[in-house]
Amino acid sequence: MRKIYYIPLFLFSFLVSAQDHSHQSSRPLTFPDIPGYNTIKTDLHIHTVFSDGNVWPNIRVQEALRDNLDLISLTEHLEYQPHKEDIPHPDRNRSYEIALQEAQDHDLLIVHGSEITRSAPMGHNNAVFIEDANPILQDRVEDAFAQANKQGAFVFWNHPAWHAQSPKGTPILSDFQKNLIQKGQLHGIEVINSLDYAEESLALALEYNLTIMGTSDVHGLIDWDYTEKGNHRPITLVFAKEKTLPSIKEALFAGRTVAVYNELLVGKEAYLVPLIQKSIQVNSVKYIEDTQVLEVVLENLSSSDLIFENAMSYSFYSKPAIFTIRAGTSETLRIKTLENFGQLQLELKALGAYVAPRTNPLISWDLRVGQ
């Protein structure tokens, strides 16, 4: 008589979940495409046990899949290796290779990257889209940057306002960075790193035409550092012509980005305005019967809460001038137009968005009554 073996339900569930880690979390990051470009969700500053992180590289891939990202880079410190007694690895490419293997059956791009780690004024800098990390490990920091650029890397300045490098909490643009910019060896700057946003870094990005970046710089678990605290990981939205590594690289060098952290969105007006326009879908425009009160239903298609202020000459009937449309939800505006119009321009100031320090963009939508 053949024996039948039963697997306890809790063990069966564990085995299934352990084998299938491609499912998105309950809070996936979602942003619409903008005219002419694909919106690529990226995190280009991540660490694992192969430098000073606390997890294996495959966990970073699984986290990115849960967050619905399109591209990540594991940017291990080249010089700082606190786990080398436990994980000795003379090949600085190993973390990337493990992540690449883990991601091969999933819709997630992995770009090769490393972090050049020096004390101020050089600071910390990420080089992504590299070919080989080992030659970038140089005694002279100038040689490290030269080698990264020889490989065609996109290089950005990490957390320039970090208080451990700048005690006042503001970035210090030294002659070293100025020289790199002049030589075309520094291309971007983090305006959002982990939990911190520095408007002074945004000012430098605009003054020196550096690509605006936002990254998690995660060392622990995304769940512990962000999700369980009610936050999304900070990311960079890259507006690329195609969802391919060459196209994304071209977009980064061209500066087509928006940095995002929860309801905070930071970028150049040319990309931030259409992103917010496309994030809000107008579902209904009609007058309340026998009134001059126009009822407009707006739906937020993004994963960020969006904060607005009325910028029209017309006031709202039943809502304060400042209001929030939560991610994935709808809000109804009732606008006192004083007379009936067939069409109207809705104009709102995006309070959670910045195109320059303390400067919010104006966003408009063309409304047609009856749509």
* Tens-digit pLDDT profile for residues 224-244: 999 999 999 999 999 999 999
Q: Up-side HSE of residue 363: CA atoms within 13 Å toward CB?
A: 26
For helices 94-103 and 57-66, the axis angle rounded to 10 degrees is 40
Q: Fold identical between 26-262 and 280-368?
A: no
pLDDT score for 24? 65
**In angstroms, rounded to a whole number, what is the distance separating the alpha carbons of residues 214 and 42?**
9
The stretches in the chain having pLDDT less than 70 are: 1-26
pLDDT score for 371? 77
Fold of 280-368: Immunoglobulin-like (2.60.40)
**In angstroms, rounded to a whole number, what is the distance separating the alpha carbons of residues 192 and 212?**
9
pLDDT score for 162? 87
Query: Is pTM beyond 0.95 here?
Result: no
Angle at 174 (CA atoms; ends 172, 175), nearest 5 degrees = 165
**In angstroms, rounded to a whole number, what is the distance separating the alpha carbons of residues 336 and 248?**
44
CATH code given to domain 26-262: 3.20.20.140
pLDDT score for 340? 96
Domain ranges of the chain: 26-262, 280-368
pLDDT score for 168? 84
**In angstroms, rounded to a whole number, what is the distance separating the alpha carbons of residues 190 and 295?**
40
- Residue 231's identity, in one-letter code, is N
Mean pLDDT rounded to a whole number for the chain:
93
Residue whose C-alpha is closest to residue 83's, from 46, 47, 124, 115: 47
